[in-house]
């Protein structure tokens, strides 16, 4: 399976046990790793195997004289002599180091060279009758100034350790690593050579803490998957010990080197110590239910004992050590933050020289963001141009250069006027950045579920007569029967908050409903928009209904009504579908997986790629995006009530079982059950790009998961008898989603079918679902009129003082109702960062070249290869559909192709690609 390539590096290795170096040269070779179809990114493996004076380390080599094979494949000596085995220890250094760090490296090399830096214990799967635990041999890592690997892997270095193994040692199952240095290091892998069926791989991909920070050694297991009941006796205790080492008990402040996973509520979004205006309620609990986040243990704020004290930028928020960004990702994210800074610096300074924030005055102001950048050039903006006279600003501009200009968004790149048209407004409900809220209209009249005693009549002002006027002779009953009426309903989610939202400065919003008709020619047409305001002590509930008029005045009012709908859609997208349903809901799954599933557990190995970077990106979001005064509050309609809106949606809408794509489509009436179709459902609208492509990806994930689960749970009762698995699922329900723990809809976990369904939902959420609603943010949202994130004015009515101004200059009324330049550029900068793929992104169906030995199971590797090939086929299917004129929602003049669920992507803002995990 693993063939040898040319030598990569050699270094002197001293003997174990404190003996003097013999000067013997140990050659490190690169192991050939199996290909996983055409999807791996081709960086190549850096795995090394050692060949010493004999060839015992090489898989293809002849059996050494002192060894012969036994049934188990472990050492079977032909004499009583002990056996010499070797370990290759692969460590990753920083790619770009300061001079001081390079000097520290030289000292580390020296300390390791004399065997005083890293200690390794090799632990057998067999029991030592004296200690009643696994047999142990110990050695120190040695090697004098090891040379790095060539070219792109120059930051990866390797050491060796020699072990003298007793003849009855058995098969190695784990290693303990002790770091005697004063600082941590990143361990990629340990490979043990010299055993008959070796080499044995111990994938680590982890930070090894210094012994001065934590006296406990780290346990690394072999890449063999074991259910708890199958764990070899010699490492069974280690399995339990390793799990205990990373579980928190809800106490203590976490330190940067910790690997502790524990739960907490969202009680650190506010900063009452800084300002009373920044105080925020606790999100999570009976009053405001929410998924749990990773606990940091910071002390409470001085002003409010229920609020955790905050850590502000640039200081990091704690996440378990292995959850932090790797260097490439950190650099990419930092560049994104720099871009956001440069984008926002200039308009922020402009505001300081102006009496108020500056609205867009004409559409060409928006175009300048892409054509000219943020440099004001018009004569009537001379006040702003004062900004550019100082030396400091010139330096900023010189340093910023290309950062100050935005890329033309995909939505206007082909057709700059597409956003104006009704069919594009409707198309984006099926093929935009938020295609997960449209649902079929099942009954008339449209009714609210809110308390009528508080919010007034539940019946919508969109009447049957009004709809039938737009249907050209078809009755409402017939349209409903034929599944031709659809709705975007943001009435109930927003109406309870509208009064508070509209009391915020510069915010005016409605609760909205939009009804669409699916025509015989195959496209959606918006029929009517209802915009509602809640009742107040001085006035009853107000409901305004708008249709597309042919008169100039009604035409502009219709544009304003659509803008308010888009603003609501943007808020629900960001706070509910994006943040809540993917980021926040994934966090408890990740915490529970680390706390309850051993790294040896096959389900841990399956889920591990889908957990990468999520806790870190969520911590950064709590620090800068969803916090009090953060970007979301500053840029979206709900303002300071944003997380309360998200909590209300979790309470009323979120169900784990309906997060499966087929179940969600059926719930919304966008599909019906049909056993003859793939996934057992048939789409009501065939040309629904998100659903059609999503079902392809969902079915591939489901097939992969089912085949994987079958491999390990083929025996009856194997799921119910798996104690780690049962504890994992119970913890997700009872701790991770504690506020929903008593809901009757939680799936049971009794069979392999139950398990496959649960795992498919988790993997789909982390990969396909997040990709579909995240990576289109800049392509669709960065042109402000297409997708305003907030509105600053209500639609003028005939008795309003501003109505005459609207008649005189409707364009100015429209633009002044949108976000200001500062608000818009803030959102654009953040959307640009969130839509960017990092160069080290790991995509669905791919394996990181440094993690290729993730499991020692040929059948699983073949199944994964089949999964990877299926994703390649899906990519081709989607590309064909995007060129097929039959699909009007994904092809046509000026229409950007729907690529958000194409599995692969390059780095940058591509509008495509499905990462394994929620990594941005």
Which amino acids are annotated catalytic? Answer: 578, 583, 770, 774, 920
Distance CA 235, CA 127 (A): 8
Q: Which long-range contacts (CB under 8 A, 24 or more apart) does 416-420 make?
A: 418/894, 418/895, 419/783, 419/785, 419/786, 420/559
Q: Are 579 and 636 in contact (CB under 8 A)?
A: no
Q: Is 11 helix (H, G, I), strand (E, B) or coil?
A: strand
Q: Which residues pair with 219 in a beta bridge?
A: 176
DSSP character at residue 153: G
Retrieve residue 632's tokens: 């979301």
Q: Are 227 and 752 in contact (CB under 8 A)?
A: no
SS3 letters for 731-779? HHHHHHCHHHCCCCCCCCCCCHHHHHHHHHHHHHHHHHHHHHHHCCHHH
Do strands 218-221 and 200-208 pair parallel, antiparallel, or not at all (unpaired)? unpaired
Q: Are 278 and 271 in contact (CB under 8 A)?
A: yes
Retrieve residue 772's tokens: 């579909």
Neighbours of 367 (CB within 10 A): 14
| DSSP-H helix ranges across 386-506 | 391-400, 410-413, 422-431, 452-455, 464-471, 476-481, 491-502
Q: Which residues pair with 133 in a beta bridge?
A: 128
Retrieve residue 549's tokens: 């008029």
Retrieve residue 754's tokens: 């139950």
Q: 181: Cβ–Cβ under 8 A, 6 or more apart, which residues? A: 108, 111, 117, 118, 210
Q: Spell 3-37 as b/e; 16+ CB within 10 A means b.
A: ebeeebbebbbbbbeeeeeeeeebebbbbebbebb
Nearest to 773 by CA among 578, 905, 559: 578
Nearest to 573 by CA among 642, 513, 501, 503: 642
Q: Which residue has the tokens 């020296």?
A: 110
Neighbours of 809 (CB within 10 A): 11
Q: Are 762 and 607 in contact (CB under 8 A)?
A: yes
Q: Is 164 helix (H, G, I), strand (E, B) or coil?
A: strand
Q: Which residue has the tokens 């669905």?
A: 844
- Does residue 869 have a cis peptide bond before it, meaning omega lies within 30 degrees of 0? no
DSSP character at residue 656: G
Q: Which residues pair with 203 in a beta bridge?
A: 189
Q: Are 361 and 815 in contact (CB under 8 A)?
A: yes
Residues in the chain: 920
Q: Is 495 helix (H, G, I), strand (E, B) or coil?
A: helix
Q: Which residue has the tokens 């780095």?
A: 907
DSSP character at residue 173: E
Q: Which residue has the tokens 């065997």?
A: 115
Retrieve residue 584's tokens: 């926040």
Q: 879: Cβ–Cβ under 8 A, 6 or more apart, which residues? A: 902
Distance CA 198, CA 163 (A): 15
Distance CA 606, CA 242 (A): 19
Cα–chain-centroid distance for residue 275?
A: 32
Q: Are 321 and 314 in contact (CB under 8 A)?
A: no
Distance CA 470, CA 876 (A): 39
């Amino acid at each position: 399976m693993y063939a040898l390539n040319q030598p990569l590096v050699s270094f002197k290795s001293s003997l174990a046990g404190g003996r003097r170096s013999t000067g013997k040269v140990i050659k490190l070779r690169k192991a050939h790793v199996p290909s996983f179809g055409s999807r791996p990114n081709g960086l190549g493996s850096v795995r090394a195997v050692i060949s010493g004076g004999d060839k015992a380390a090489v898989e293809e080599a002849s059996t050494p004289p002192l060894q012969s094979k036994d049934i188990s494949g472990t050492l079977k000596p032909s004499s009583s002599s002990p056996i010499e085995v070797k370990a290759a220890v692969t460590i990753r250094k920083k790619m770009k180091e300061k001079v001081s760090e390079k000097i520290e490296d030289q000292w580390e090399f020296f300390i390791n060279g004399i065997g005083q830096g890293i200690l390794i214990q090799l632990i057998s799967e067999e029991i030592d009758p004296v200690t009643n635990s696994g047999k142990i041999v110990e050695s120190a890592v040695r090697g004098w100034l090891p040379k790095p690997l060539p070219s792109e892997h120059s930051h990866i270095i390797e050491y060796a350790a020699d072990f003298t193994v007793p003849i009855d040692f058995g098969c190695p199952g784990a290693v303990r690593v002790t770091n005697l240095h004063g600082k941590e290091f990143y361990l990629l892998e340990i490979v043990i050579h010299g055993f008959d069926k070796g080499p044995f791989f111990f994938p680590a991909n982890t930070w090894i803490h210094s012994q001065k920070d934590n006296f406990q050694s780290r346990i690394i297991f072999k890449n063999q998957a074991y259910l708890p009941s199958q764990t070899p006796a010699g490492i069974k205790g280690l399995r339990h010990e390793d799990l205990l080492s990373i579980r928190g008990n809800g106490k203590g402040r976490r330190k940067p080197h910790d690997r502790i996973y524990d739960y907490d509520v969202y009680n650190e979004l506010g900063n009452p110590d800084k300002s009373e205006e920044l105080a925020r309620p606790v999100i999570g609990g009976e009053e405001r239910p929410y998924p749990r986040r990773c606990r940091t243990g910071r002390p409470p704020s001085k002003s409010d004992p229920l609020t955790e004290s905050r850590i502000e930028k640039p200081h990091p928020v704690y996440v378990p050590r292995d959850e932090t960004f790797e260097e490439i990702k950190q650099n990419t994210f930092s560049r994104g933050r720099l871009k956001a800074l440069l984008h926002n610096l200039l308009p922020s300074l402009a505001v300081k020289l102006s009496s108020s924030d500056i609205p867009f005055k004409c559409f060409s102001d928006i175009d300048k963001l892409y054509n000219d950048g943020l440099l004001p050039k018009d004569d009537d903006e001379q006040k702003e141009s004062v900004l550019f006279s100082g030396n400091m600003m010139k330096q900023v501009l010189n340093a910023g250069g290309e950062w100050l200009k935005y890329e033309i968004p995909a939505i206007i790149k082909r057709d700059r006027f597409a956003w104006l048209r009704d069919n594009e407004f409707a198309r984006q409900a099926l093929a935009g950045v938020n295609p997960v809220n449209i649902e079929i209209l099942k009954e008339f009249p449209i009714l609210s579920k809110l308390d009528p005693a508080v919010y007034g009549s539940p019946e919508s002002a969109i009447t049957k007569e009004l709809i039938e006027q737009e249907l050209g002779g078809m009755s409402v009953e017939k349209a409903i029967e034929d599944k031709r009426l659809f709705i975007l309903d943001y009435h109930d989610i927003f109406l309870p908050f509208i009064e508070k939202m509209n009391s915020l400065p510069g915010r005016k919003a409605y609760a909205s409903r939009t009804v669409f008709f699916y025509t015989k020619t195959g496209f959606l047409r918006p029929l009517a928009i209802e915009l509602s305001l809640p009742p107040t002590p001085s006035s009853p509930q107000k409901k305004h209904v708008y249709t597309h008029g042919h008169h100039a005045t009604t035409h502009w009012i219709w544009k304003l009504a659509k803008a308010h709908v888009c603003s609501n859609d943007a808020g629900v997208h960001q706070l509910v579908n994006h943040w809540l349903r993917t980021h926040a809901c994934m966090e408890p799954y990740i915490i529970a997986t680390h706390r309850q599933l051993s790294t040896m557990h096959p389900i841990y190995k399956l889920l591990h790629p889908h957990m990468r970077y999520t806790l870190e990106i969520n911590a950064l979001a709590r620090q800068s995006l969803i916090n009090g005064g953060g970007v979301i509050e500053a840029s979206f309609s709900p303002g300071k009530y944003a997380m309360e809106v998200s909590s209300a949606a979790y309470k009323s809408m979120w169900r784990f079982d309906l997060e499966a794509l087929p179940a969600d489509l059926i719930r919304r009436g966008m599909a019906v059950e049909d056993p003859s179709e793939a996934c057992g459902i048939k789409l009501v609208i065939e040309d629904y790009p998100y659903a059609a492509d999503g079902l392809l990806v969902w079915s591939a994930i489901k097939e992969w998961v089912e085949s994987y689960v079958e491999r390990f749970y083929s025996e009856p009762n194997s799921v119910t008898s798996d104690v780690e698995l049962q504890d994992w699922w119970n913890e997700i329900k009872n701790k991770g989603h504690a506020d929903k723990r008593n809901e009757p809809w939680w799936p049971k976990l009794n069979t392999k079918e139950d398990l496959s369904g649960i795992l498919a939902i988790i993997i789909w959420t982390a990969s396909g679902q997040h990709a579909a609603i995240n990576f289109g943010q800049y392509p669709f949202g960065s042109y402000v009129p297409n997708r305003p994130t907030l509105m600053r004015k209500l639609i003028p009515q005939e008795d309003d003082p501003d109505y005459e101004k609207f008649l005189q200059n409707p364009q100015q009324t429209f633009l002044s109702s949108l976000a200001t330049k500062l608000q818009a550029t803030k959102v654009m900068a953040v959307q640009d960062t969130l839509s960017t793929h990092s160069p080290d992104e790991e995509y669905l169906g791919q394996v990181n070249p440094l993690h290729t030995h993730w499991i020692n199971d040929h059948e699983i590797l073949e199944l994964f290869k089949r999964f990877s090939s299926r994703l390649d086929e899906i990519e081709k299917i989607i590309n064909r559909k995007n060129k097929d004129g039959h699909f009007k929602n994904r092809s046509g003049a000026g229409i950007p192709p729907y690529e958000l669920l194409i599995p692969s992507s390059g780095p940058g803002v591509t509008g495509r690609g499905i990462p394994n995990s929620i990594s941005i």
